[in-house]
Amino acid sequence: MVYEYALDPQLLANPKDFRYFFEKFGVARGRLIARLPSRWRKAVLDVIEASGDWKQVEKHAIKERILHLEKNAVVARAHEWSEPGWLKNVLAEHARKPFRAILAAGEAVDHPDLLRGEVVYEMDDPRWFVETSTSIDRTAQAMAACGTLLLRAAREVVFVDRNFRPDKPQWRAPLRAFLCCLADRPDLRHIRRAEYHTHNEPRNRRPGFSAEDYQQELRSVVPDGVQLGIVAWPWETLHNRYILTDIGGIQFGWGLDEAPGKRDQTNLLSESVWRELWSHHSERTSFCSIGRKPGG
């Protein structure tokens, strides 16, 4: 659903290719760029500065677009960078933890997962094509796998499900899996906000939950280094189920609880829908929190 690509900075050397790749990456499109090397933005700026294809005024303007790309479509990963040359390092990293594909400039190396970036927009390659809607098993493992890359890239995360019950294992298991995706990040300290938005008053057979209830039930669910806030909403104001972040979101058709043996439909949110939902779910503050941030 959301895939990680290694993108050679050399592919952004001219305005035409830069515009193409700028439009093709982002959560809504299901593609994110691996931060390789770690000073990825500088590597891209160096390529553009050395290129003879940009006017001086364009070089100044493009810095904002590179910053936008870095904030919204680049995902960090722990990696080693020792060999000279971008491709050698990326192939070593791919052997350790595979990318969806490697988009490289210049002559293609004989490797099954390497695509020549200069011609990728002319190709009908399944590694470049991304489905933005998919069906998954309703298990904690499959649900977390669906959102792993989004959770690795975001700085703010909001889980939304009005039916959430902290006292039930079918809710706690997926939440634990989601939060472990955050805890495993090499840049965990960059997470500014993690919240669960739900309804916490009694309704039908669902009991109400106090701040003490959430803290008691979720203390063992929230991993070290993660702090989860609970935000309460009136029942009628929440319906659909999401993982929302500051860079995009995923909708879950049935909910954020697991039901082994059953399937769920998940969809990447379009940018316009995501922006509306993100704004809406930034209006309230948490009434309790569980866990501590790194160094907290």
Name the more confident of 83 and 202: 202
Task: Provide the pLDDT confidence category of residue 123 given band limits of 50, 70 and 90.
Answer: low
* Domains of the chain: residue spans and CATH: 3-122 (3.40.50), 133-291 (3.30.870)
How far is residue 121's CA from residue 13's CA, in Å, rounded to a whole number?
Answer: 16
- Beta strand 31-34 pairing with 3-7: parallel
Beta strand spans in 35-171 (E) = 74-75, 101-104, 114-116, 133-137, 156-160
Q: What was the pLDDT predicted at 79?
A: 87
How far is residue 117's CA from residue 11's CA, in Å, rounded to a whole number?
Answer: 7
Tokens for 281, please give them.
Answer: 């779910």
SS3 (DSSP) at 157: strand
Tens digit of each residue's pLDDT (9 = 90 or more) over 80-106 = 888 778 999 999 999 999 999 999 987
Write down the pTM of the prediction: 0.93
